[in-house]
Chains A and B, each alone.
Chain A
Amino acid sequence: MADILRMPSAPRPILSARAVSVASAERALLHDVDLDIPEAGVFGIIGPSGAGKSTLLKVFNRLLELETPPLELAGDVRFRGRPVYGAGVDADALRSRVGMLFQQPVVFPASIRRNVLFGVRHVERLSRAGLEERLVEALEGAALWDEVADRLDRPAVELSVGQQQRLCLARTLALRPEVVLMDEPTSALDPRATAAIETLIRRLADVHTIVLVTHDLDQARRLADQVACVCRRDNVGQVIETGCCTELFDNPRCPETMDYLDSRGTDQ
């Protein structure tokens, strides 16, 4: 029911890719990707390992440009209808609006407070009171405030891995991004921490657009409103199929999607 209600309500995508291809010096990684990501809700990206899901994610906030050796990108990527690449586009400003949560939590060797405010402090000019306000808002948004309120100046590395991942989410939320790209954010977590992150994702989806790369099909089914399947066809990653969750999981149209769903079904 939720799928039906959410799907057609976003006529203009917040993120879109047209004929996007990515290649390294040795090989093509993604080919001819067309994808529209609607505003608000959770957009899942599934597919086998090495198909190019994470690469596709990095296309949207230009983190692709940091890859070494450099990758070549062709095609048109847009955020709210405006080109993401090209002269005059501020990549740093874009990244603060299209945030990213990585597979492994990356905490800086500093206190919890400094970690949460790490991006805000450099990107925005806020007063001390403004920073404190943003700190509380971000930690509450990541459901971490109750657990760390009394030890904000303790080193962030003292937190459990699950808490560290939520801290990273808080750090991203502190910038008030419109989109949060999540690259398998629960793959390093235990079931309890995974459940906490999943609850958060669902809650955040009311205000933010979440793009979630996941290997866990049950997770995709639980969280995503729409799903895209990225598979290797002709030895290069391609978006094979997109659709709402029930449609793609229960009635896949492409053989690659069927193979992938079958293999994951056997695995799980």
Chain B
Amino acid sequence: MRKWIDRGLPIACAICAVACCALLLGIVATILARGLPVLSGEFLSAADGELLGSGGIRYQLFGTVLLVATALAVGAPLALGWALVQAVWVRSQRGRRLLRRTLYAVNAVPSILFGIFGLIVFVKYLDWGKSWLAGGILLGLMIVPTIAVALVERIEALPAKYVRAAAGLGLSKGRIVTSVILPQCWSGGASGALIGLARAAGETAPILFTAAVFSGVTVPHGVVESPVLALPYHIFVLAQDSFDPEAGAHLWGSAFVLLALVLALSLLALPLRLRAAEEAQHG
């Protein structure tokens, strides 16, 4: 029996791994095959046309970048603060456990709930209507756990000798954070931020009710009643009309651009992730 388990387990694991890779490659290949022919300079730079699925995706791209940048501006400081509280300021193991579990719980909240929260708070209560800022804030809140977990892992892997040595020289805790911990742990936070942004760039649910519209807007000039066009929402709406060949082509082109954006962010995070792992290993 043990022999069977020894032989069967690696085979089962290999099948699972191959299935995952095949699925991922299948998705990427489909999007590449259907999206690449649509891609052109005009598709990327032109504004959307009057008919469904006509024109380009200039303002969808702009809106996505604006939402992602806002998410970073909101999420990164919050995550940094959270990570420092959890890994540096709170000394009791119980307190740290509580913060860690809260972080995982926030990470597990379905994105549609963030959307509903945004609808109640920003759209209704603050009376912003649909606003790019509301979408950016919600996406920022969503990526806090991803950034904070990466940062906490890196801070906890930082050898205690550095903190002790700095404290032994009379540096205050704040100075130790800015001169020892952050310079040596920024790669962890940056890789977490890029992975979080890759996730935020592809989210539809949080911006569905709060920030995105399908057409009729360009660049927002304020906060209240200032929605944006965004790639995920654009794809979502086009997918409902994908039987129309024109809309279908536009859909695959948009999907290709979104995939490239997400992939680029993930690839940018890779060397930082490797660097963080190497630094953690060698101290």
Interface string of A79-100 (1 = CB under 8 A from B): 0000000000000111111011
| B161 adjacent to A95 (CB under 8 Å) | no
Are B169 and A68 touching (Cβ within 8 A)?
A: no
Q: Which residue of B lies closest to A68 (CB)?
A: B91
The proximity string for A residues 157-184 relative to B, scoring 1 for CB distances below 8 Å and 0 otherwise, is 0000000000010011001000000000
A236 to B2, CA, bound (A): 49
Residues in A52-68 with C-beta less than 8 Å from chain B: 61, 63, 66, 68
A122 interface hit (Cβ, 8 Å): yes
Which residue on B lies nearest to A110, using beta carbons?
B183
For B179, the chain A residues whose CB sits under 8 A away are 118, 122
Q: How far is the CB of A86 from chain B (nearest CB, A)?
A: 18
> Is B168's CB under 8 angstroms from A63's CB?
yes
Of the candidates B92, B161, B162, B170, the one having the most CB atoms from chain A within 10 angstroms of its own CB is B170
Q: At the interface, yes or no: A265 with Cβ under 8 Å from chain B?
A: no
Smallest CB gap from A93: residue in B: B170
Determine the chain A residues whose CB is within 8 A of the CB of B165 once the complex forms.
Answer: 102, 106, 108, 168
Given A69-B93, A70-B91, A109-B184, A119 and B164 touching (CB < 8 A)? no
Answer yes or no: A246 CB below 8 A from chain B CBs. no
Chain A residue with Cβ nearest B173: A92
B166 on the A face (CB < 8 A)? yes
Is the C-beta of B99 less than 8 angstroms from some C-beta in chain A? Answer: no
**Are A92 and B162 within 8 A (Cβ)?**
no
Contact A95 B91 (CB under 8 A): no
| Total chain B interface residues with beta-carbon distance under 8 A | 20
> Nearest Cβ distance between residue B253 and chain A, in whole angstroms?
46
Flag if B171 contacts A123 (CB, 8 Å): yes
> A61, A68, A69, A109: which contacts B168 (Cβ < 8 A)?
A61
Cβ of A104 within 8 Å of any chain B Cβ, yes or no, is yes
Query: How many residues on A have C-beta within 8 angstroms of the other chain's C-beta atoms?
Result: 27
- Min CB distance, B187 to chain A, in Å? 12
Task: Provide the residues of chain A in CB contact with B172, threshold 8 Å.
Answer: 92
The answer to whether B167 has its CB under 8 Å from any CB of chain A is yes
Task: Write the A94-135 contact mask toward B (1 if CB under 8 angstroms, else 0).
Answer: 111101101010101100000000110011000000000000
- The chain B residue sitting closest to A109, CB to CB, is B184
Asked if B168 contacts A100 (CB within 8 A), the reply is: yes
Q: Which residues of B contact A109 (CB under 8 A)?
A: 184
A106-B169 CB under 8 A given contacts A68-B91, A122-B179: no
A175 / chain B contacts, CB cutoff of 8 Å: 169-170
Once the chains are docked, how many angstroms separate the CA of A97 from the CA of B172? 14
Q: Are A108 and B180 in contact (CB under 8 A)?
A: yes
Inter-subunit contact B169/A118 (CB<8 Å) = yes
- Taking a contact as CB atoms under 8 Å apart, the answer to whether A66 and B169 are in contact is no
Residue of B nearest to A97 (CB): B170
Chain B residues positioned under 8 Å from A95 (CB to CB): 167-170
Q: Nearest CB to that of B180 among chain A residues?
A: A108
- CA A175 to CA B180, docked complex, whole Å: 18
**Chain B nearest CB, measured from A184 CB (Å):** 14
CA distance A7 to B243 in the complex (A): 97
Contacting pair A171 B169 (CB below 8 A): yes
Checking B92, B93, B161, B180 against A102 with a beta-carbon cut-off of 8 angstroms, the contacting residue is B161
Q: How far is the CB of B100 from chain A (nearest CB, A)?
A: 15
Given contacts A92-B172, A122-B175, A122-B179, contact A66 B166 (CB under 8 A): no
Q: Does B163 contact A (CB under 8 A)?
A: yes
Q: What's the minimum C-beta distance from B161 to chain A, rounded to whole angstroms?
A: 5
B167 x A96 contact (CB < 8 A): no
B162 touches A66 (CB 8 A): no
Chain A residue nearest to B178 (CB atoms) is A122
Closest to A124 in B: B170
Contact yes or no, B168 A99, CB < 8 A: yes
User: Cβ of A66 and Cβ of B164 under 8 Å apart?
Assistant: yes
Q: Would you give 30 A-B contacts (Cβ < 8 Å), ordered by A?
A: A63-B164, A63-B167, A66-B163, A66-B167, A69-B91, A70-B91, A70-B92, A92-B167, A93-B170, A94-B170, A95-B167, A96-B169, A96-B170, A97-B170, A99-B168, A99-B169, A102-B164, A108-B165, A109-B184, A118-B166, A118-B169, A118-B179, A119-B166, A119-B171, A122-B169, A122-B170, A122-B171, A123-B170, A168-B165, A172-B168
Given contact pairs A94-B170, A95-B170, A172-B169, a sample of 6 additional A-B residue pairs in the complex whose CB atoms are under 8 Å apart: A61-B168, A63-B164, A66-B163, A68-B91, A69-B91, A92-B167
